[in-house]
Chains A and B, each alone.
Chain A
Amino acid sequence: MALRGDWVYENNGGTCVAIAGSDYCVVAADTRLSVGYSIYTRDYSKICKLADKCVLASSGFQGDMKALQKNLAAKHLIYQHQHNKQMSCPAMARLLSNTLYYKRFFPYYTFNILGGLDNEGKGCVYSYDAVGSYERTGYSCQGTGGNLITPVLDNQLKSPSPLLLPSRDAVTPLSESEAVDLVKDVFASATERDIYTGDKLEIIIVNATGIRQEFLDLRKD
């Protein structure tokens, strides 16, 4: 049984979404932890606050998610001791990419989104694959419900097209409350069709005044 390599990983399901605005960033994830066709718990947070203006949401294998969060939190603490300041979101973004690529040949099975405010106070969202390839975008979804949500955000966020030249900033012109409402709608839809998404939605909003948290009940079936 242990001779094949695939027992070291499992997919614990879940979906994460992040949306960047002109002066805010919304990061959201459901709180269901599943394995196979069972639900382990309905109340597991996939979001980790790494720095004052920087929040990580992950989905995938929970053991690796936890280890990655601890890893980054430890590196951030060392950074603070050495530089006497918090890490900025773009700096954390590169750190996450390097941390993931470090395990290129035994990857962290995590699909991450990093959200926060950049050095100018504008919202930023960074989207990753399992081995650290990343890109700054205006919005992103990862996880089992990602493919269900992305088309809806493409349609509803009114972001400038990435095909335009000169390239425009990808942040959405929507207000913070409109973006939060959209996130709630979009998760309600994903919950209908994705068995791994549901139970409860945790929403984190990062803006100039700090970090705020909201919850929304989702369908439990």
Chain B
Amino acid sequence: MEWGAVSSEGKKVSTVLESRSQRTLSPYDGVIMGADMGGSYGSTLRYKSVERIKPIGKQTLLGVSGEISDFQEILHYLDELIIYDHIWDDGNFLGPKELHNYLNRVMYNRRNKSNPLWNSLVYLGMVGMIGTYYEDNHVVTGFGNHLTRPIMRAEWREDLTFEEAVKILEKCLFVLLYRDRSAINKFQIYKITEEGVTISEPYALKTFWGFSAFQNPTKGAEGSW
């Protein structure tokens, strides 16, 4: 990844802070989302406790991958919306469908001005940097599309319990940990049901690196490193 660079119009054209895949599953009575907690600055793993998922109001979770500063700006926009709602004091509040529409339009309109929010957002569905969006029973950003979507397609069922859904999510996070160089072994799982939002403590998955092929990596190719 490049350093933050400024184009002739004075806008930032390259990403500075990037964090990768995170995913969400919808079991029978709620939604769970999982993400790793790493924030990279190019190839440097700069931050190790980044919370990439935030609860919005009482009914939604918003997860993000991509430019962290743009995520913070989105949270700022959402705060404004919620405060504006609150001061009407008429009992109405923003639900997931309203949020869905708002975020979609924000991403698409920034793309129209050639000044995108360099993020992929995950909430009721997924919306990408240029405004492409979709809803499904399981949603993923970044590398997850290639590595974990097949796992979720094979294992997701209508009647998953929370524990089963977490197992599938952990399997996916595991694959990403092994294969995505910007993932770190520190995860959080967020759960949202009618009762509210539950956030797990950061935890690590058990990895195994003792494969015999790793013992002497240059055995088959003398002189390489």
Interface residues of A (CB under 8 A from B): 1-3, 5, 7-10, 12, 33, 35, 38-44, 61-63, 66-67, 106
A2 contacts B136, C-beta separation under 8 Å: no
Bound: A62/B13 CA distance, A: 24
- A8 / chain B contacts, CB cutoff of 8 Å: 111, 114, 130
B131 within 8 A of A: yes
Contact of A38 among B112, B131, B146 (CB under 8 A): B146
The answer on a CB contact under 8 Å between A9 and B130 is yes
A44–B134 touching, CB < 8 Å: yes
Known: A8-B111, A10-B130, A63-B131. A38 touches B149 (CB 8 A): yes
8 intermolecular pairs with C-beta atoms under 8 Å apart: A3-B13, A5-B114, A8-B111, A9-B130, A38-B145, A38-B146, A44-B134, A66-B131
- The reply to whether B130 and A66 form a contact with Cβ atoms under 8 Å apart is no
Interface string of B83-114 (1 = CB under 8 A from A): 00000000000000000000010001001101
User: Which 9 A-B pairs rank lowest in CB-CB distance, beginning with the nearest?
Assistant: A63-B131, A41-B134, A41-B136, A2-B13, A38-B145, A40-B134, A62-B132, A63-B132, A63-B108
**Once bound together, how far apart are the Cα atoms of A57 and B206, in whole Å?**
49
Q: Indicate if the CB atoms of A2 and B116 lie closer than 8 Å.
A: yes
Residues of B within 8 A of A67 (CB): 108, 131
**Contact indicator B14/A1 (Cβ below 8 Å):** yes
Give the complex CA separation of A38 and B16 in angstroms. 26
Could you list which residues of chain B lie within 8 angstroms of chain A, going by C-beta atoms?
A: 2, 7, 13-14, 104, 108, 111-112, 114, 116, 126, 130-136, 145-146, 149
Inter-chain CA distance A3–B6, complex, in Å, is 11
Most buried by A among B7, B108, B130, B146: B130
Chain B residues positioned under 8 Å from A42 (CB to CB)? 136
Chain B residues with CB under 8 A of A7: 130
Residue of B nearest to A42 (CB): B136
Shortest beta-carbon distance from B53 to chain A in Å: 20
Query: What residues of chain A lie closer than 8 Å to B13, measured between beta carbons?
Result: 1-3
Chain A nearest Cβ from B7, distance in angstroms: 6
Question: Known contacts A1-B13, A2-B13, A3-B7; is A63 also within 8 Å of B111 by CB?
Answer: yes
Tell whether, in the assembled complex, residue A10 and residue B132 are in contact, meaning their CB atoms are under 8 Å apart.
Answer: yes
The dominant DSSP class at the A interface is: mixed
* Assembly CA distance A38 to B149 (angstroms): 9
Q: How far is the CA of A204 from the CA of B114 in the complex (A)?
A: 36
Instruction: List the A residue with the shortest CB-CB distance to B107.
Output: A63
Kindly report which residue of chain B lies nearest to residue A1, judged by CB atoms: B14
Interchain CA distance A38-B147 in the complex, whole Å: 10
Known: A2-B114, A3-B13, A8-B111. A41 touches B135 (CB 8 A): yes
- In this complex, what residue of B is CB-closest to A38? B145
Q: Is there an interface contact between A61 and B132, defined as CB atoms closer than 8 Å?
A: yes
A62 near B7 with CB under 8 A, answer no
Residue pair A43, B136 in contact (C-beta under 8 Å)? yes
CA distance A3 to B112 in the complex (A): 14
A2 to B146, CA, bound (A): 24
Least CB distance from A146 to B in Å reads 21
Inter-chain contacts of B126 with A (CB < 8 A): 40
The answer for the CA separation of A42 and B13 in the assembled complex, in Å, is 33
CA distance A40 to B7 in the complex (A): 32
Given contacts A40-B132, A41-B136, 5 further A-B contacts (CB under 8 A): A3-B13, A8-B130, A33-B134, A63-B108, A66-B108
On chain B, the residues within 8 Å of A1 by CB distance are 2, 13-14
Q: A153 to nearest B CB, angstroms?
A: 29
Q: Which of A38, A62, A63, A106: most chain B CB closer than 10 A? A: A63
Inter-chain contacts of A44 with B (CB < 8 A)? 134
Distance A83 CA – B153 CA, assembled complex (angstroms): 48
The smallest beta-carbon distance between A6 and chain B, in angstroms, is 11
Distance between A8 CB and nearest chain B CB, rounded to angstroms: 6
Given the interface contacts A3-B13, A38-B146, A38-B149, does A62 sit within 8 Å of B116 by beta carbon?
A: no
Name the A residues within 8 Å of B132 (CB-CB). Answer: 10, 12, 33, 35, 40, 61-63
> A62, B133: Cβ atoms under 8 Å?
yes
Bound-state CA distance A106–B111 (Å) is: 12
